[in-house]
Amino acid sequence: MSTKNKILDAAEVLFADKGFNGTSLREITSLGEVNLAAVNYHFGSKKELIKAVMSRYMNELSPRLESALAALCQDDVQPTLNDVFSAFIGPLLHLNEFKENGTSTFLQLLGRGYTDSQGFLRWFLTTQYPDVFAHFTQAVHKAYPELSAEEMFWRLHFTMGTIVFTMSSSDALIDIAHSDFEREVDIAGVIKQVIPYVAAGVAAPIAF
């Protein structure tokens, strides 16, 4: 296994757990059992390392997600909002085959990216992977054409918040569900709980 991958593997675990600001290069190289200087040799800077960690997941996720959403858009029948959000399940759970705990790690990283480091990662994702966002809004529009662009903007951000925040604290939530309700829940279980919630939220009657 290459030094570069050792660094990426160690970094994603620590970034997901403690955030980007909260993780030092020394912790990463120590967990990955590589030399401190290797990070700057292979990635140039901490910021570039963060981008590389996210890109490894996005490159795995985005083609599958795009084709699932594109299928909904091209289909003749009108999808429900549940269909649209369910299109995320397969591609997201596939990350578990790509890497151990991949789904959970990726979603936690996404949450970190929105709150840490004042949104530079949000900028990075929306500019580097614009097609995913375009197909998604198109699919939602097909499922719920009455929703104005502005309403959709707000509700998709609320949805993003729900998912990302839930996954950032999913370890704690799964622990609580276990101790309070004697229920074994895994990440797929959390996803199945959250989909009806966000679908109903997006489908809510229009406000004012």
Q: Which residues bind a second copy (CB under 8 A)?
A: 17-19, 21-22, 111-112, 114-119, 122, 149-151, 153-155, 157-158, 160-166, 168-169, 172-173, 176-177, 180-181, 183, 190, 192-208
By a kind-dependent CB cut-off of 5 to 8 A, residue 165 interacts, out of DNA, a second copy, none, with: a second copy
Q: Give the nearer residue to a second copy in terms of CB position, either 97 or 175.
A: 175
Q: Give the nearer residue to a second copy in terms of CB position, either 22 or 130.
A: 22
By a kind-dependent CB cut-off of 5 to 8 A, residue 40 interacts, out of a second copy, DNA, none, with: DNA
Q: How far is the CB of 26 from DNA (least distance, A)?
A: 4
Whole-angstrom Cα distance, residue 20 to residue 106?
13
Q: How far is the CB of 116 from a second copy (least distance, A)?
A: 7
Whole-angstrom Cα distance, residue 52 to residue 59?
10
Q: How far is the CB of 132 from a second copy (least distance, A)?
A: 18
Q: Which residues bind DNA (CB under 7 A)?
A: 2-3, 23-27, 34-42, 44-47
Q: What is the DSSP code string of 47-95? A: HHHHHHHHHHHHHHHHHHHHHHHHHHHHSSSPPPHHHHHHTTHHHHHHH
Alpha-carbon 49 to chain mean position: 18
Q: Give the nearer residue to a second copy in terms of CB position, either 34 or 50.
A: 50
* 25 within 8 A of 44, measured Cβ to Cβ: no
Q: How far is the CB of 154 from a second copy (least distance, A)?
A: 5
Residue with tokens 């949104």: 119
Integer CA distances (angstroms), 136 to 2, 87, 125, 139, 148, in order: 36, 10, 14, 5, 15
